[in-house]
Amino acid sequence: MASTNDLKNGMVLKLEGGKLWSVVEFQHVKPGKGPAFVRTKLKEVLTGKVVDKTFNAGTKVETANVDKRGMQFSYKDGENFVFMDMDTYDQITIEPAVVGDAANYLLEGFEALVATNEGVVLYIELPTSVELLIAETEPGVQGDRSTGGTKPATLETGAEIQVPLFITTGEKVKVDTRDGSYLGRVK
């Protein structure tokens, strides 16, 4: 248990019958009249739904113990993803629904943070950018410049992103894992 006065960004609360909510923002408000309160923006851990919630200052809230561990993606077992704990070498299998869009940027050997609560995998968190090869894209045309448009390209993971016209098949590029945007070439 914690008090609403102790809230911090990233803290995970257990509210409304056991649902897990991550604190995105919080603000302590002390109006001229009336009691102080805490205005928060909470994100449901499993669905990603964001809500605004106000608590009276000093209210007790239940916190959830979320364990984040660095794990390495080992291989895909049918539809599921198998990760290995780098410290204990234990392997866990994670369903595609939990992996979500991160599957577009996972290659064997990539590391990710795996968040668990009471043995249940909540989500995986990739680094903000990864380096991947362009598996296929249309060839550039003489005169294409970096300030020009974009074209679709397929990454070695099978995901499709938009890249500048001068990028060719076989080049290594840096990709933002949050929105799938092209960040630049990798030498």
- Structural domains of the chain ordered from first start: 2-63 (2.30.30.30), 67-125 (2.40.50.140), 129-185 (2.40.50.140)
Per-residue DSSP letters for the chain?
Answer: -EEGGG--TT-EEEETTTEEEEEEEEEEE--SSS--EEEEEEEETTT--EEEEEEETT-EEEE---EEEEEEEEEEETTEEEEEETTT--EEEE-HHHHGGGGGG--TT-EEEEEEETTEEEEEE--SEEEEEEEEEPPP-TT--TTS-EEEEEETTS-EEEEETT--TT-EEEEETTT--EEEE--
pLDDT tens per residue, range 107-159: 888 888 888 887 788 888 888 888 888 888 887 665 555 566 788 888 888 88
pTM exceeding the 0.95 threshold for the entire prediction: no
What integer best gives the mean pLDDT of the chain?
A: 84
pLDDT, tens only, 56-80: 888 888 888 888 888 988 888 888 8
